[in-house]
Structure 1
Amino acid sequence: MPDHTSDRAGLRGDCRRCFGLCCVALPFAASADFAIDKPAGRPCPNLGGDHRCGIHAELRTKGFTGCTVYDCFGAGQKVSQLTFGGRDWRTGPPEHARRMLDVFPVVRQLHELLWYLTEALTLPAARPVHAGLRRALDETEALTRRGPEELGALDVGAHRQKVNPLLLRTSELVRAGTGGRRKNRRGADLMGARLKGADLRGADLRGACLIAADLTGADLRDADLIGADLRDTDLTDADLTGAFFLTQPQLNGARGGPGTRLPGSLTRPVHWAAGF
């Protein structure tokens, strides 16, 4: 089994090795994020015959901001190259395409779990549960390597419920190291909240709605951000050093700047510099 704790390259989308699965499998509705309606299973009109986006460099200016914040956690290339052996959805009967598009979101969910489990294994404070995390990691990786029919029938929710207690315990162990009274904002509705300069060190923000919240200059060190909705959240000059279970799609949906401090595993979104 590969050592995921040292290299998460396989858990990042690589469009060069994918058949544009997210551009076909996923639906979207005309909104601030998408310029048009598209049902699940229908190729986006911007998708070319080479499985590449024809407006990739202009997605934001042409009204497809939603595409720029999405990441498949590497599921696209795994389904394209491993699960279906390099045979694209345009090849063969409709059943082949349908099965491929059904499997993609399943593997995407499993890869997101792999991201969290891999990160948890890098956290020294979580050492008491490292053995359980490693077993869960290996089991989840094995699931992603099953055949199309098995993946299509997989109950991802049940597997997530099995893994979640380990992630919760990891969160408790890491946040306990911050000392003091740690804020519990799990699942809180903080849409548009004014939290400028807030002390959120070691806070539990799992599943919190922070859409359009003002977190400029906030201290989010060692905060648990799994599932937090950061769309249009202002993270200018915020400190997310050591924040965990934070993903690239969450960051891509937020706003920030050169003064925003990030965990080393994530990259500063390009559109932050452009002021979008």
Structure 2
Amino acid sequence: MNDHPLDLVDLRGDCENCFGLCCVALPFAASADFAVDKDAGTPCRNLQDDHRCGIHARLRQRGFTGCTVYDCFGAGQKVSQITFGGQGWRTGPREHARQMFDVFPVVRQLHELLWYLTEALTLPAARPLRPELRRLLEATEALTLGSPQELAQVDVAAHRQEVNQLLLRTSELARAGTRGRKKDRRGADLMGARLKGADLRGANLRGAYLIAADLTGADLRGADLIGADLRDTDLTDADLTGAFFLTQPQLNAARGSAGTRLPGSVSRPAHWTADV
């Protein structure tokens, strides 16, 4: 039996098969991440009629860094092609568009949970939990396949709590194999912290605030990074081999180098080398 029926590759955004939902459904405010304000349900001024971004190659230079770090975990193409059968928000009735914009954030959250559950099933130490992980993965996938009306009724918070409890147990098993004293920095305020060369092997960094922290050359092998805020974190030459529950959006928000060692579940952001 296949222990992880979903591939992490399938849980990444495929803009070619999406109706630009993240550029319409989601709001953003003028800040360091976005050049302008935009209300939820209002198309971004850079969105073209073909649902492509008109400044995609120049987003960072034009003040839209927030767009470059975002990923929908594959929710965009699911909502566009499966939930709404390929009918875009431009061509359907107004109520159709409103439903699509309401459903997209729900499916995005569920797809993020699918990412974690799928990765958990690949961790050798989680073998004792695989039946439970598989059950919750299948239940989560089933939720994503509901009708727009059914998706609107999903209690995402309650489902996330159930998944999180199992992921906590998974984390404990995965980190138990790391030798030495494992630091518990769950939810810690480490903004701007000087952690150059720090030994964080097997650390619990769940939900830690690492904004602008200096982790140059730090050892993060086997660390749990679920929900850690890595905005502007310096990961230059850091070793994240075996780190788990790290997502592409987290990594995209950080800074790194060609010497940063990454787990196979994520890709090296293009701007890491472009910014050099």
Task: Please indicate the TM-score interval, normalised by the length of the shorter structure.
Answer: over 0.9
1:5 CA drift (Å): 4.8
Counterpart of 1:118 in structure 2 is 118
1:21, 1:76 within 8 Å by CA — same for their partners in 2?
Answer: yes
The answer to whether 1:251 aligns with 2:251 is yes
Counterpart of 2:224 in structure 1 is 224
Number of positions where the alignment pairs a residue of Structure 1 with one of Structure 2: 276
Counterpart of 1:80 in structure 2 is 80
Counterpart residue identity of residue 217, structure 1: G
Counterpart residue identity of residue 97, structure 2: A
1:7 CA drift (Å): 2.3
Long gaps (5+) in structure 2 = none
Equivalent residue runs for 1:201-212 within 5 Å: 201-212=201-212
Counterpart of 2:214 in structure 1 is 214
Equivalent residue runs for 1:122-201 within 5 Å: 122-201=122-201
1:94 CA drift (Å): 1.2
Counterpart of 1:63 in structure 2 is 63
| CA RMSD across the alignment | 1.3
1:179 CA drift (Å): 2.2
How has the CA–CA distance of structure 1 residues 38 and 2 changed in structure 2, closer, same or farther, with 3 Å as cutoff? farther
Long gaps (5+) in structure 1 = none
How has the CA–CA distance of structure 1 residues 214 and 127 changed in structure 2, closer, same or farther, with 3 Å as cutoff? same
Tell me, what secondary structure is at the counterpart of 2:46? coil
How has the CA–CA distance of structure 1 residues 151 and 6 changed in structure 2, closer, same or farther, with 3 Å as cutoff? closer
Q: What is the CA–CA distance in structure 2 between the aligned matches of 1:112 and 1:4, rounded to whole Å? A: 15
Counterpart of 1:100 in structure 2 is 100
Q: What is the CA–CA distance in structure 1 between the aligned matches of 2:85 and 2:2, rounded to whole Å? A: 20
Percent identity of equivalent pairs: 80
1:13, 1:73 within 8 Å by CA — same for their partners in 2?
Answer: yes
Which one is further off, 176-185 or 237-246? 176-185
1:6 CA drift (Å): 6.5
Counterpart residue identity of residue 229, structure 2: D
1:3 CA drift (Å): 6.7
1:230, 1:254 within 8 Å by CA — same for their partners in 2?
Answer: yes
1:5, 1:121 within 8 Å by CA — same for their partners in 2?
Answer: no
1:260 CA drift (Å): 0.1
1:5, 1:119 within 8 Å by CA — same for their partners in 2?
Answer: no
1:4 CA drift (Å): 4.1
